[in-house]
Amino acid sequence: MNTWMNLATACLASVALYGCAAHTYQLISDEESGKAVGLFARDGGEPRISLEFGGKKFAASGFAVTRSQNLSELRRQYGSYSKHYANVFSGLDSRHYVYSANPELRSDDGQRLRCVFAWRLAKALAGTCTTSDGKQVEIRSG
């Protein structure tokens, strides 16, 4: 009986740690829009991003990450009375959430890079970053 209790405790601890694990995305650009590499991380609720683009290092932290879902579209897709929609509506099915962030990154010399990102849980992050002079670079996680 003690062995089963230890096994159950170990399983619960691993599930709890996995649920609290950091989400980290390595960022790369579409070569046609310019070369950029970086890292987007969310650990402990404090998001941060660093990106090297145009020979400069840009960074930001503490920006908002929002979560949304289109319930009317999901209701139309799955039906109002389906079990799947009930799980989505109650929050038990989180696969349909879309996460987004709009950080403004700064370099050491004060230049700005405004980015717009979107992604789904356990899916690739993608977006666009725009410099203060209007140059855009397409970013995705790789």
Q: What CATH number is attached to the domain comprising 47?
A: 2.40.128
pLDDT band at 22 (very low <50, low <70, confident <90, very high): low
* Single pTM value for the model: 0.72
Rg of the chain, C-alpha, whole Å: 19
Per-residue pLDDT, 34: 79
Q: Assess if residue 65 is contained within a domain.
A: yes
Note the pLDDT tens digit of each residue in 76-121.
878 878 887 777 777 777 777 889 999 999 999 999 999 999 998 7
Q: Assess if residue 1 is contained within a domain.
A: no
Q: Name which of 137, 131, 107 is nearest 28 in CA terms.
A: 137
Q: Assess if residue 14 is contained within a domain.
A: no
Count other C-beta atoms under 10 Å from residue 48's C-beta: 16
Query: How many domains is the chain partitioned into structurally?
Result: 1
Q: Assess if residue 8 is contained within a domain.
A: no
Q: Assess if residue 2 is contained within a domain.
A: no
Q: Note down the domain range covering 137.
A: 22-141
DSSP letter (8 states) at residue 34: -
**CA 136/CA 70 separation, integer angstroms:** 28
Percent of the chain residues past pLDDT 90, beyond the cut: 43
Q: Assess if residue 129 is contained within a domain.
A: yes
Range 52-69 average pLDDT: 92
Q: Are strands 126-131 and 112-120 parallel, antiparallel or unpaired?
A: antiparallel
- Per the model's pLDDT, the better-predicted residue between 142 and 8 turns out to be 142
Q: Assess if residue 130 is contained within a domain.
A: yes
Q: Assess if residue 38 is contained within a domain.
A: yes
